[in-house]
Structure 1
């Protein structure tokens, strides 16, 4: 994924100033790690990755900054039915949906134009202006490496 970090920094900087939050180097370090993270991640996963890369950012700063990044729409918050908030980059990405394996937790992203059309039709019919949507399909994957593979 090629993300223009300078543009993302500017979006975040404007948001922080507008909402009267402090502009700190630590918050931008979290931003950089979050936007470079491939796939979906939890706050603790990001924190551990940062620690493993010699970062001195605190766990609290990671948690708080992720909330700010979601509020300014650089990240999307997701819940895949595991009572855990996950994040993914929302910056410069097209809308997509998810298939989630209830056995192994694998998450596969997909884009289906028909879903976009249905969202637009329903919103128009009900007089609603959509800002985005989240569509998740839960089931069992056919992956031979599924760690909880059963014979169903």
Structure 2
């Protein structure tokens, strides 16, 4: 889990981002931010909305979707397209990892590979490219779906 100091910095950046964009700093937006900060793993916007509603939070579906877009712009969450929807995850306070995404059932397997990271660094060096962040996704069939397809 991320440190309290890091979480406070995220909240501060969120407030500044809202001010810069002349967006209102509403209680509902803060509720979405706080809920995202509590999330572990991958989640969809609809999953977050339902979870917040079940917790008795007064937030609209549009606010959840719009706030997730703001949090993506800020780098607070990363997002991955799985089928026709985006799946989000907290982008800080976690070790870097990449994804295997099943195109059939939507399951996501996280993995880490020093070899891939090394190759990416070599490619960036070769082209004198300064990387800021990246995501690596491999789309295919998970073991269960691959068996069903045979």
Give the TM bin, normalised by the shorter chain.
0.7 to 0.9
1:47-105 deviations in Å (ceiling 9; x for gaps): 1111011011111111110110000110112113x021121101222321001223332
TM-score by length of 1: 0.85
Task: Determine the C-alpha separation between the residues in 2 that align with 1:41 and 1:18.
Answer: 28
- Describe the shift of the 1:19–1:129 C-alpha distance in structure 2 as closer, same or farther (beyond 3 A): farther
Greater CA drift, 49-58 or 102-111:
102-111
C-alpha contact 2:2 2:92 (8 A) present in aligned 1:
no
Query: How many equivalent residue pairs?
Result: 148
How far 1:44 sits from its partner (Å)?
1.2
Write 1 or 2 for the structure with the bigger share of helix: 2
Task: Determine the C-alpha separation between the residues in 2 that align with 1:122 and 1:90.
Answer: 24
How far 1:3 sits from its partner (Å)?
5.2
Task: Determine the C-alpha separation between the residues in 2 that align with 1:31 and 1:92.
Answer: 15
Indicate the residue corresponding to 2:69 in structure 1. 67
Indicate the residue corresponding to 2:148 in structure 1. 150
- The match for 1:38 among 31, 40, 49 is 40
Q: CA RMSD in A?
A: 2.1
Greater CA drift, 67-76 or 6-15:
6-15
TM-score by length of 2: 0.86
SS class of match (1:105): coil
Indicate the residue corresponding to 1:19 in structure 2. 21
Unaligned runs of 5+ in 2: none
Task: Determine the C-alpha separation between the residues in 2 that align with 1:149 and 1:36.
Answer: 35
Match runs of 1:32-111 below 5 Å: 32-80=34-82, 82-111=83-112
